[in-house]
Structure 1
Amino acid sequence: MSIVEVSTQPSCADAGDSQSLSVEQARRAIRKALDQITDRQMVPIRDALGRVLADDCISPIDVPSHTNSAMDGYAFVGADLPTEGVREYAVVATVLAGQSTDVGCKPNECIRIMTGAPMPPGTDTVVMQEQVESLGNGRIRIDARHRVGQNVRQAGEDIAQGACVFQQGRYLRAADIGVLASLGFAELKVRRRPRVAFFSTGDELRSIGDPLGKGDVYDSNRYSLFSLLTETGVEIIDLGVVRDDRQALADAFKRASSMADVVITSGGVSVGAADYTKDILKGLGSLSFWTIAMKPGRPLTFGRLGDAMFFGLPGNPVAVMLTFHQFVQPALRYLASGNWPQTLVVEARARTALKKKPGRFEFVRGILEYGEDGRLTVGPSGKQGSGILTSMSRANCYILLDEACAGVAEGETLRVQPFSTTI
């Protein structure tokens, strides 16, 4: 009997194919196509957390604004410190934080001073109170261990007037807000947040609260995407679920692109009989329909839809989150700031062996934790099917297995991308 070979197309079951982009090639293509958002707005400093500075921030003052004591103690003229043995001094004044004094020090005199108080005229050194022996009757004694200039904060030591404190494009963190408040900024000029419109496609999708018929599923992707977009700090436009109908999809695409900087869909970008997205998009925008040598998340659509950028994500729940993390989130960060974020990657020891064929990049959902020896260890978070969303819920990292990897032995060192800074 002769053997008849079946002619097939590349699929997500393949280890890789020559027509697929690498993960890095896809990232570079996306970055090259993006334009920064330049619209600006003023916001109160209390509302600036997570926003992106639109201009360089120049300090209007010195911080500290005056030379002051870094300790509770006694202010001295450095040249009058003992060089050997011990020496007695008369305490001629006291200066508290928020106060100042015109009293100076003659030889064998010092001034009681509190943390943050301006240094008295002529003094340049503070001896902390714990290193001073009180003799009573306004006199103290110190030894020769001290050096000129110790325990004093110079005016402008932290920030000098006219210095650039933060450059434009910076995402503002809590510490940044504190720094800017210390400079007296009540309002900040920031870039407008990216506007992102998104919807799911599929006749089988039902919203929460609707009854499920045979073959129906609740639309988890919309809620995952809404949460991911919230974490990213963008303006969100949720257009719900759009049924698999050419006219409904065309109308949804037109509406979304008219109101947003970025349009995101999940589902409808593969080769299924009811996946109309490709045909519709070809008439509305300039799109690239990619297969990427990665697992999960092989199919991805990217391009321009009117004036908006477009991401067509796969329909499987895990693939939606993975492709968002690897492509969409950094793209949104770039739109907002002009900076493509550098992903934190750490090394960890494999708790178990992992099977893999060479040919594509695999993102294994993992659990990163400390072993008994204090070193980081990592292992899979459960079954790795792209529809098993609980594998993402249990995970706190991606285990990164590149295209050349042919499997991992227990105890081998792996590269890991944590989801956050805590585990």
Structure 2
Amino acid sequence: MAQLSDDCFAFGGPMMSVDDAVAIIAARVTAVQDIETVDLRHADGRILAAGISAPLPLPPFTNSAVDGYAVRHGDLPLTAEQAFPVTGRVQAGASAQGPVEPGHAVRIFTGAPMPEGADTVFMQEDVRIDEAGKVVLPGGLKAGANVRPAGEDIAAGTRALPAGQRLRPQDVALGAAFGLMHIEVRRRIRVAVFSTGNELVAPGAPRAAAQLYDSNRFMMMAMLARLGCDVSDLGILPDNRASLAAALKKVAGAHDLILTTGGVSTGEEDHVKAGVEDVGTLVLWRMAIKPGRPVAMGIIDGTPFIGLPGNPVASFVTFAYVVRPTVLALAGALQQNPMPMPVRAAFTYRKKAGRREYVRATLRRAADDMLEAVKFPREGAGLLSSLVQTDGLVELGEGITRVEPGQTVGFLGYASLT
């Protein structure tokens, strides 16, 4: 397990910006050190333990980029077309039988190795065959046209994938192109998740009139699974200080992160903070973010603890900007801050300076073919429908106080936040 000091998240200053919060997390969380070897087929989404350098050039040999005819460029006329006898044929996966003769052409196909001496390929669409069976080549083609030199993509020995890369399908493809069958990755981090509150019941259980079905826990587990975590579902804990403290203490030693939702406000029946303080150290972060509220962070027996607010939109946003960077840091992954896409606002909005706000929005194509962000018609951090019926979040920086229709704003699709 990752063992952190009791003051890992300590911050005694005023309300902090989102960027400062992410920087503190990335700097102070220690990545898990355990490494395991996985089959390349199971490497997608895993965190690369060590950088990979190219063991061979890509492509490994010089080859044709098209179906056509390989020639020596020095044999070509500058302007007028010229007929060349065709001697030889090279298919993909086969080797040329010998060098191309001066003044001759070799029929070649995409991916086939270039015959010795040949350095240029004419596309078959640009030539014609005369009555004598010769290929008639036009003049003016530049040297090296339609040829892929060995190492054109990646030279042998080049660092191709960095340590900490969260592997994607294209990264897996690169490993396969290098001939790798197995790859070393960090082990998955183990996260314990539970909800708190007497007002919650699990889906499928009997629900009293004043109770709600627990939804946040399932959202958190789904988001953690997308980050490649091994998730332990601990269910719902009642609003009881002693039982909360005991549950936290029990799971700390077997997990790399403890995540809760609900019970972190200042109400008399919100016991999570007190429970953490009974068995560890608690810091309550105040982030200049909306939707969102103070996020409870702490350390229990060396294991980081994060308590998120109970409102689903606030929980989603604080997960994206607190839990996600923590998980990536614990997993040894490179921090990947989502990059907003510029779109045109189709709404009016006012906000306070000094605070970053996220507006739930749907994208649409305007009459002039520009993408526009349409704000969800209702406010409220408790509206789960506002996450379901929109495409993402419009990010409004600390310096923005007003948005008018037609103004360019930054849009983050939900896929970039999970």
TM superposition score normalised by structure 1 = 0.90
Corresponding residue number in structure 1 for 2:9: none
2:295 counterpart residue number: 300
Deviation, structure 1 residue 338? 4.1
Say if 1:289 and 1:299, in contact at 8 Å, map to a contact too: yes
Q: What is the rounded CA distance, in whole Å, between the counterparts of 2:76 and 2:152 in structure 1?
A: 24
* Cα distance per residue 1:69-90 (max 9 Å; x no partner): 2121112122111223232221
Partner of 2:140: 145
Query: Structure 2: how far apart are the matches of 1:361 and 1:124?
Result: 57
* Structure 1 unaligned blocks of 5 or more: 1-17
Compute the displacement of 1:334 (Å). 2.4
Please point out which of 119, 122, 125 is paired with 1:124: 119
Q: How many residues align?
A: 405
Gaps of 5+ in 2: 1-12
Q: Give the counterpart letter for 1:256 in structure 2.
A: V
Distance 2:200 2:416 in 1: 34
Q: Does 1:45 align with 2:40?
A: yes
Paired position in structure 1 for 2:214? 219
Question: Which of residues 305, 313, 318 in structure 2 aligns to 1:318?
Answer: 313
Q: In terms of mean alpha carbon deviation, does 297-306 or 195-204 score higher?
A: 297-306
Is the Cα–Cα contact under 8 Å of residues 88 and 142 in structure 1 kept in the other structure?
A: yes
Match of 1:391 among 382, 386, 391: 386
Equivalent in 22, 26, 29 of residue 21 of structure 2: 26
Report what 1:374 is aligned to. 369
The one-letter amino acid of 1:238's match is D
1:236 aligns with 2:231: yes
Cα drift, residue 196 of structure 1: 0.9
Give identity over the alignment, percent. 37
Give the C-alpha shift of residue 421 in structure 1: 6.6
- RMSD across aligned positions (CA): 2.0
Q: Distance in 2 between matches of 1:421 and 1:225?
A: 16
Q: Which has the larger radius of gyration?
A: 1
The answer to whether residue 122 in structure 2 is matched with residue 164 in structure 1 is no
Per the alignment, do residues 295 and 111 of structure 1 end up closer, same or farther by CA in structure 2, a change over 3 Å counting? closer
Q: Give the drift of 1:411.
A: 3.0
> 1:191-234, CA deviations, whole angstroms, 9 ceiling, x for partnerless residues?
11221111001111101111211311111111111111122221
| Other structure's SS at 1:337 match | coil
Whether the 8 Å contact between 1:67 and 1:153 is mirrored in structure 2 is yes
Distance 2:254 2:119 in 1: 61
Rounded to whole Å, the distance in 2 between the matches of 1:358 and 1:71 is 57
Displaced runs of 4+ in structure 1, greater than 4 A?
A: none
C-alpha deviations, 1:34-89, integer Å up to 9, x for none?
A: 11222211000000011111111122222222221212111212211122323222
Call closer, same or farther: CA 1:155–1:358 in 2, change over 3 Å: closer
Which of 386, 409, 413 does residue 414 from structure 1 map onto?
A: 409
Q: The residue matched to 2:299 in structure 1 has which SS?
A: strand
CA 1:143–1:415 in 2, change beyond 3 Å: closer, same or farther?
closer
Candidates 344, 347, 370, aligned match of 2:342: 347
Q: 2: CA distance between counterparts of 1:148 and 1:342? A: 43
Residues 346 and 271 of structure 1, relative CA distance in 2, 3 Å threshold: same
Residue 323 (structure 1) shift: 0.6
Correspondence 1:96-107 to 2 at 5 A: 96-107=91-102
Aligned to 1:3: none
Summarize the Cα distance change of 1:20–1:116 in structure 2 as closer, same or farther, 3 Å threshold: closer
What is the match of residue 72 of structure 1?
67
Query: SS at 2:412's partner residue?
Result: strand
